[in-house]
A and B are shown apart, each in its own frame.
Chain A
């Protein structure tokens, strides 16, 4: 099977600017086209291990520069979903992050055969931890540390996909989105980490994407059993505390972090109830990554 890495940067750029590439991430195929160099740079750097598959695409995305007078003053990038513009244009410099956000939007707004939680999810020995969190709670930082140094497999940093038919968690390993201070923290903490160029002044502040481990990408077909739901909160200097949560609280908080809970109706409720039935929830506070990783290794 061909991978993105089998193309040189120049070949990749030509494909992206021309017919596009059929990029396979987990079970989704995206036909991506873009003449923008920073998009090709980002794909080349972070997606080398991902398969290319011709024929059918779930999502058709173009990242292009809109043809307006602004293009000479303040160049912009716009995301087209099958030829239609769905979002306001962003500054051209944010083209690669826009691809990442756009693909998240595609999955979370379309893939309704999964209950989709806004959460990171990692696995060890077949059992998975779900880390739901509102932005700024230190979820991505923790996720990056767990897969970079803790020996956990990355299922996803943003989108936890719960299969409705069997209650298993389906992987969607993609680059981990790091923001602001955590970019420096992870660069120090995870040796040999590969990151895209930091982009400043986005709606989320400064953003950089960390390459997913090759092993996680290779095992994108292996589902995992949900075992723990950990709601993390980073507090500088705080000691680790992990407070077990009642099932009802875990359920309600998970539901609040779902993209399509109400859309799925009774099916979503049942799937979430089964997941909570099988998993132990914790309210987790941490200040030091080493201590946090030790807690995850101690999970029963």
Chain B
């Protein structure tokens, strides 16, 4: 695979951390700034530590990575603590509590959790129990945000989650989901299938995470159906690490594509594998890649041009003059995938012209 001007120093570092001891002061200066912009500083530090390379890099860089590690350690403690309190709050409900994404990686001790920072904890509960879950969380001190009537309707009628809830004292954020894609989206993976396959976390009764294939598929649909790519490279690296980890088991690869078909998530999986291989050298068996069909060659060329520009650190040293256009087009695409055109037009109109007129920060 040829690497061109869109390849970043950081992506190269994630592909082959063993080359980092050769990097000089100026190289580290740039790499650390790209990693900071991509929210990958502590992750980079963990990669070097896993390979026993931390002592062989320039001292000034080692110091900065150590600064980032302190944050990541504290973050991990905080997440485990919050998860404990969420479990307590929802204990009376008698529904299995399923954690998604960052919090799931952390409690299950999966490789993407190493050094990863995230802003909220995502949980999945059955739609018919979501009211009870909301009430139980409110009793435990979490309060809903987005009090504007339009936003309430947006979340409760169209979305796959409650408006985000924030704890009154600790300010921790929790997203309560009943599905992994909005009700208005074209793709509708059945949440009952995900819940049925969820697996318990060893040592913590009542806590579950998605099955390996589902976890990869959720991560892929989240990255490739969304319109915001501030953490795009980090999310792609999550998928890369999940695939490296689960992929040592041949059964995982045998189940992945059939599962994607069952959940209507073939296309996001196609993109996740394609860009994982292209940017991070993710080890994906050729047979698995051939099983998946992508878009037409013309559309694929366009998607390559767009995704390659947003799956780099959000830093001045990365991308080219078309990058802002790519970000904008993928933002539109993200919204397009979430809602049918007419509803989307209404929603964007409301957000652009009606919401800003209301007073108060919640309206925006």
Contact = CB atoms under 8 A, between A and B. Distances in A.
A56 B25 contact: yes
B29 A110 contact: no
Nearest to B66: A113
Interface of B: 24-26, 28-29, 33, 36-37, 58, 60-61, 63-64, 66-67, 70-71, 73-74, 77, 315-316
Contacts of A198: none
Contact of A56 (B26, B36, B66, B73): B26
A55 B73 contact: no
A73 interface: no
A111 B64 CA distance: 8
B60 A112 contact: no
A264 B77 CA distance: 11
Contact of B67 (A29, A83, A112): A112
A82 B33 contact: yes
B37 A113 contact: no
Nearest to B60: A56
A83 B37 CA distance: 10
B28 A60 contact: no
Interface string A106-131: 00001111000000000000000000
Contacts of A260: 70
5 contacts: A112-B66, A113-B66, A260-B70, A265-B73, A265-B74
A233 to B, nearest CB: 32
Interface in A260-287: 260, 263-265
Interface residues of A, number: 16
A58 interface: yes
Contact of A83 (B24, B70, B316): B316
A136 B64 CA distance: 33
Contacts of A58: 60, 63-64
A263 B69 CA distance: 11
Contacts of A29: 60
Given A113-B66, A265-B77, A56 B61 contact: yes
A55 B37 contact: no
Contacts of A55: 24-26, 29
Contacts of B315: 82-83
A113 B26 contact: no
